Amino acid sequence: MLVCADSVVTDDLTFFLQHSGFQVSSVVESMQAMVEMGRRTPDVIVMRENSRRLNGDELCIRIRELSDVPIVVLGQGQEELAGGEMLEMGADAYLTSPLDPRELLARIRSLLRRSGHPPRE
């Protein structure tokens, strides 16, 4: 699941991940992500650090209350402390801007291997 309010980022990441073999569902805001989590748990969640209605750390905490699904947070700034805070709140990986799509893909595959899901090639 991709949680991102920026349609350009969502479109780019969806295209990249789909062409890497993943099925991608996306939501615009954090509350929608929580609704989707109630319906079915995704294999991995990729989210922007600041999402609508719930900020990233609040969303990580809420997801962790429901599931141990791997969470990758995409940072929006250069603030060094944000990554550590997001990891403390439940994220499994934190990537900063500018985003390297190959690193995102490698992190997702690594987290899926560790969680028992077969990696996609």
Quick check: 90 and 63 in contact, CB under 8 A? yes
Distance of alpha carbon 89 from alpha carbon 20, whole angstroms: 28
Which domains are delineated in the chain? 2-114 (3.40.50.2300)
pLDDT tens per residue, range 80-90: 667 888 888 89
The larger pLDDT score, comparing residue 73 to residue 77, is at 73
Please tell me the pTM assigned to this model: 0.88
- Characterize the bridge pairing of strands 2-3 and 71-74: unpaired
Quick check: 112 and 70 in contact, CB under 8 A? yes
Distance of alpha carbon 76 from alpha carbon 18, whole angstroms: 23
